[in-house]
Amino acid sequence: MTDSLSPHRESLLACPDCDLLLRVDAVPLDRECHCPRCDALVQDGGHYAIDLHLAAAFSGLVLFVPAVTAPVLRFTMVGQWGSNSLLGGVWHLWTQGEQILSLLVLLCSVVAPFFHLLLSFGIALTLRLSRLPNNFPAWLKWHRHMQGWSMLEVYTLGIIVAYVKMLDDGDVFVGSGTYCVAGVLLCLIICNQCFREDVAWRQWEQRK
């Protein structure tokens, strides 16, 4: 990690644990590297499956609209039918006076996952075409922010809990929105597992 570099260009990578700046130009992308100070994994050396990353991000964007608008659960209790969607749940919280909670659910379950997928698609596409825009570093930074705020799995867990609790009180049916939400969540997981931020930064440095 401390090999000598060209005097004309340096590529630095911060340790995710202790923020130590490390030179990475001379380190092959397929080599696993650890921080010399805290031994944290800095570069995993795995293969960047960019085509899978691109396909997962695109699939997630296609599924996103039905995931937030289609009914998640359909139920009947005492002869009354009802259903709800992700956006419908946010609106219900708003009308019940829970504005702060509704905005938080909207941010973590709708806004952040959508922009996470959108940025993943844009990053993977530009890397695949080797045409990086001038604001590419900003894309990478916002991608990390959205990844931290994206908590669609919490909403998915809520669906499971609601389904189990309502089984004894009436008939509950899984709506098409549930399958779309599961598909979006799977796409997000694949994007997170495939993406290698160090490779993206390395290609940006090489472009410069």
pLDDT tens, the chain, 208 aa long: 433 333 334 556 677 678 777 776 655 555 667 788 887 777 665 667 889 999 999 999 999 999 999 888 777 665 666 667 888 888 887 888 888 988 988 888 889 999 999 999 999 999 999 888 889 989 999 998 888 888 877 777 776 666 666 666 666 777 788 889 899 999 999 998 888 887 888 788 777 5
Identify the three-state secondary structure at position 14.
strand
Q: What angle do CA 197, 48, 200 make, to 5 degrees?
A: 30
Structure tokens given for 142: 């916002």
H-helix or E-strand spanning residue 43: strand 41-43
Tell me which residue has tokens 């499971």.
160
Q: Is the pTM of this model over 0.85?
A: no
Inter-residue contact 85 to 180 (CB < 8 Å): no
Backbone angles phi, psi at 196, to 5 degrees: -120, 105
Which pLDDT does position 199 carry in this prediction?
Answer: 80
